[in-house]
Structure 1
Amino acid sequence: MHYMDNISVTVTTRVIAATTRVYENAGPVTILFILGVLGNAAALGVVCCNAKTHKWRPFQRYVLALVISDGGGILASYPFAEYRYISKFTYTFPKPLCEYLGFVFMFTLMSSAMIVCCMSFDRFFATFYPFLYNSPSKGLRTNIILGIVWCLSGILSSLHLYGLGTSKNIYPGSWCFLNFIEVESEHPHATENRVYSYVYAITGLTVVTLTIVANAAVAIYFIRNRFFRSRPNSGKRDVQIIIFVLVVAFIFGSLWAPLMINILQHASGAISGEDVTELILLRMGVSHSVLDPWIYILLRKEILVLILRAVEIVTNQKLRIVQNLTGNDDGQDQRASFNQPRVQIE
């Protein structure tokens, strides 16, 4: 009996040790940091250099805000995580630093999610309510919305600083977040941690749901009008918008939602403890901030045309989508091309 117990303990210890060796390395952290900084810097350059062309319409303002949130969050947090790995985990975050990192991680993820949601509804209103959308004050309206988004994200991400829950240094000690781990009754502040976890996760999942609904509505609208109403000349931007909307919705939902679901599972008691799962889910969430600028850069019309023309060369076939993208740009709203009053939009 004792022999079997020894075997069981030995096996468990080896599994944990193997897991530690696999995940306690600086490779993923370094890659995310480099790609995040380069991508957001490149997107910032593209947006600013093309200011004379886009004249800072609402969509470009949202892109700029997304770059600021994503790039700023990565720069403000990942150097500390990198140092933790470089020190071979001998350096431990002091409590004030952990509270700071918890705020930065939560703020970056939530503000990025809300800005993507706002971008989706920007396309939604531009498509379904073009006259309302194209009011003279749309630039000011966008700035106000972004201010509200940052304020809400800041408040939601700093509640642990005011006594609602706590922050926690989570496995492998390279990141801090709201304490959704210690929600059992034997832990101090368990009730506050549980409430905070529910508030943050439910808000995050609500943002995901609204983003998917808005994106799906826009995509269905264009697909229906292009392929089921025999109106192929609906404007060359239709293809770009459909591709951008679907890619953003898929990546955002698939990378952000799992972390929110995991937090809800901890808060409800369905799961407990911490291991590499939470680390992977956080990296998935941060990957969204890393991928956002690359999506914007790669899905620009010029890049899409280059990629599709390369596909034409390889397949030796002409693609109709290239003609749609390179056709004459009437600069009109998407709905206007369906024999409706024409209004100028970005």
Structure 2
Amino acid sequence: MNASVLPLTNNTPLCYTKNSPPFNYTMPIASAYYSSIFMMLGITSNLIAFIVLVRSFQRTQSRSRSFFLIFLGGLVFTDLMGLLVTGTIVVSFHVTHFNWRNLDPNCHFCNFMGMSMVFYGLCPLLLGATMAVERFIGINRPFTRASSATKSRTISILLLVWFIAGCIALLPLTGVGAYHLQMPGSWCFLNISSKGNDLVFSLIFSLTGLICIAVSFLLNTISVVTLIKVCCGQDRCQRRRDHEVEMMVQLILIMVIGSSCWCPLLIFIAKTVLSGGPLQVRYLLLWLRFATGNQILDPWVYILFRRAVLKRIYPRLDWSRGSIMTLYPSLRDTVRRFTRSSIASTVASNETEEVGKLNGTPPSTLKPPPPSP
């Protein structure tokens, strides 16, 4: 990779002090083909998912599911807008090869793209953690959640998540960090450096994302364990849990995809600024491609992993009954075997106590009759 950098003066805008156009580079991973393919796949996937979500929201009768669909719709909408905004800029550069300094002499356009990269990057992670909290409360504290959850409050929480991500993205405009033009000249991002405020902002960005992933992993694990206990419990009158299992499966897949796509980039940023070593542009672009994959894979979680789709894939399974136990007959028989023995012993002890009370004899002195020969 070769870059011809114009001589910098004291009047050089901040976003061009690190890299200044024009650039002469040969890097296959930064070609127009990658950017165009990623953008078209992502936009198509998110549009399909958004249409499916709107139809599901109109048909759903479950309050908890409708709240989950609001968060999921916000996630899909955020991914779609992120691809539209950032992808359009990157593809336009590869097609026209415009000069950033001529087009944007005051760094306004570069700052806008940098803020978009940070905002649309943090939103999926923050929303993933928010959905994990919502499912944790819905499964472990259902009565508390039922008394306080409304659609307006759910929308307010979604707007709050966007507001937090926006505040973090605006920090460089207040002097905490800065947005710089990045190699190969097609995008702007935070300045990954171990000096001063750049170090602070880089750590804020990376640690916020890593904390969101850790919170999602912890709360989703607890929710899954609780849901398994409820589905496999002894209560015959338990309410339907299939829709909650479906939501947890989708949420876990979103968490796995987000962790796999974003952890390499977040760890790379934190490691680079803490070690004080030089920025390795090739790895930065590679991990950025991984992070972009999150916006493409997220919508397919809801498109594919729905009961309506699974019914068509596995039509032989009994989907009409109300319990997840119908999907696992061996597990259901095992639970019945253990619960049947425990129920029988409980009934026998209760009958013994009743007989003791009628005869005026303490239950502990009663002995079972000897077996008949």
Report the TM range for the smaller structure's normalisation.
Answer: 0.7 to 0.9
Aligned match of 2:260: 254
Give the alignment's TM-score, normalised by structure 2: 0.71
The 5 A counterparts of 1:279-298 are 279-298=285-304
- Once the two structures are TM-superposed, the CA of residue 42 in structure 1 deviates from its matched residue by 1.3
Aligned match of 2:154: 142
- Structure with larger Rg: 2
Deviations 1:271-321 (A, max 9, x none): 422322111211211211222111111111111222334xxxxxxxx6xxx
- Quick check: 1:38 aligned with 2:50? no
- Quick check: 1:328 aligned with 2:342? no
CA 1:77–1:120 in structure 2 vs 1: closer, same or farther (change >3 Å)?
A: same
Match of 1:51 among 51, 57, 60: 57
- Quick check: 1:78 aligned with 2:87? yes
What is the alpha-carbon distance in structure 1 between the residues aligned to residue 134 and residue 289 of structure 2? 28
CA 1:20–1:226 in structure 2 vs 1: closer, same or farther (change >3 Å)?
A: farther
CA 1:327–1:77 in structure 2 vs 1: closer, same or farther (change >3 Å)?
A: same
- Quick check: 1:158 aligned with 2:163? no
What is the alpha-carbon distance in structure 1 between the residues aligned to residue 306 and residue 252 of structure 2? 14
- AA aligned to 1:135 is S
- Once the two structures are TM-superposed, the CA of residue 52 in structure 1 deviates from its matched residue by 2.6
Q: Report if aligned partners of 2:180, 2:190 keep a CA contact under 8 Å in 1.
A: yes
- AA aligned to 1:150 is W
Match of 2:214 among 199, 202, 209: 209
What is the alpha-carbon distance in structure 2 between the residues aligned to residue 127 and residue 264 of structure 1? 34
Deviations 1:188-223 (A, max 9, x none): xx3010111111111111111101111111222234
**Secondary structure, in 3 states, of the residue corresponding to 2:26?**
helix
Deviations 1:17-37 (A, max 9, x none): xx9342232222112211211
- AA aligned to 1:191 is G
Q: CA RMSD in A?
A: 2.7
CA 1:134–1:239 in structure 2 vs 1: closer, same or farther (change >3 Å)?
A: closer
Aligned match of 2:279: 273
Give the alignment's TM-score, normalised by structure 1: 0.77
Aligned match of 1:68: 77
Aligned match of 2:269: 263
- AA aligned to 2:59 is T
**Secondary structure, in 3 states, of the residue corresponding to 2:280?**
coil
The 5 A counterparts of 1:227-238 are 235-237=241-243
CA 1:28–1:231 in structure 2 vs 1: closer, same or farther (change >3 Å)?
A: farther
Deviations 1:36-93 (A, max 9, x none): 1111111221122233312682111101211221111111111110122223x56447
Q: Report if aligned partners of 1:120, 1:215 keep a CA contact under 8 Å in 2.
A: yes
CA 1:230–1:25 in structure 2 vs 1: closer, same or farther (change >3 Å)?
A: farther
What is the alpha-carbon distance in structure 2 between the residues aligned to residue 219 and residue 170 of structure 1? 41
What is the alpha-carbon distance in structure 1 between the residues aligned to residue 86 and residue 241 of structure 2? 42
- AA aligned to 2:217 is I
**Secondary structure, in 3 states, of the residue corresponding to 1:134?**
helix
CA 1:224–1:97 in structure 2 vs 1: closer, same or farther (change >3 Å)?
A: same
Aligned match of 2:225: 220
- Quick check: 1:102 aligned with 2:114? yes
- Identity of aligned pairs, percent? 24
**Secondary structure, in 3 states, of the residue corresponding to 2:181?**
strand
**Secondary structure, in 3 states, of the residue corresponding to 2:189?**
strand
Q: Which 5+ residue runs of structure 1 have no aligned equivalent? A: 1-18, 184-189, 310-317, 331-337, 339-346
- AA aligned to 1:292 is D
What is the alpha-carbon distance in structure 1 between the residues aligned to residue 298 and residue 227 of structure 2? 23
For structure 1, which segment, 191-200 or 55-64, has the greater mean C-alpha deviation from structure 2 after superposition?
A: 55-64
Deviations 1:126-179 (A, max 9, x none): 110111111264222212211211111001011112221111222322222111
**Would you say how many aligned residue pairs link Structure 1 and Structure 2?**
292
Deviations 1:229-277 (A, max 9, x none): 5789974335524432331221111111221111111221254223221
What is the alpha-carbon distance in structure 1 between the residues aligned to residue 157 and residue 231 of structure 2? 32
Aligned match of 2:249: 243
What is the alpha-carbon distance in structure 2 between the residues aligned to residue 120 and residue 327 of structure 1? 28
